Amino acid sequence: MPKINATEDVQLSPKKVKTKLPSMFKVIILNDDYTPMEFVVDTIQRFFNKSFDEAKRIMLRIHTEGLGVCGIFPQDIAETKMNQVLNYAKEHQHPLNCIIERVN
């Protein structure tokens, strides 16, 4: 007679394999009337690893359209980037604002 071994690795009900991707968040910088353009370009280069030309393009989009997306990241990284921007602006006494918004 076959022996039943309770320690054997027999799966009775199939476990669902987790395949969910993490939610992604846009990091958005907002326009204002006071922050110098050069400071915004520097901020985008510094925290979003953009070239001068790309940072200038994003800054001009923010200036003309009211806001611009600087990057899309998992939540913890997006929050860190937003706080880096807000702290950097505060240190330099500029009212530059930054928010995050869920993508999916």
Residue 32 interacts with ligand TYC (CB under 6 A): yes or no? yes
The single residue among 62, 82, 85, 89 that binds ligand TYC, judged by CB under 6 A, is 62
Is there a contact between 102 and 23 (Cβ–Cβ < 8 Å)? yes
Nearest-approach distance from CB 91 to ligand TYC, in angstroms: 16
The single residue among 27, 28, 55, 59 that binds ligand TYC, judged by CB under 6 A, is 59
- Where do the H-state alpha helices sit in 1-104? 37-48, 52-65, 75-91
Is there a contact between 95 and 35 (Cβ–Cβ < 8 Å)? yes
The single residue among 40, 70, 82, 85 that binds ligand TYC, judged by CB under 6 A, is 40
Whichever of 56 and 77 has its CB closer to ligand TYC, that residue is 56
Is there a contact between 33 and 63 (Cβ–Cβ < 8 Å)? no
Residue 42 interacts with ligand TYC (CB under 6 A): yes or no? no
Compute the distance between CA of residue 68 and CA of residue 104 in angstroms, rounded to an integer: 18
Residue 96 interacts with ligand TYC (CB under 6 A): yes or no? yes
Compute the distance between CA of residue 47 and CA of residue 84 in angstroms, rounded to an integer: 7
- The footprint of ligand TYC (CB under 6 A) covers 29-33, 35-37, 40, 59, 62-63, 96
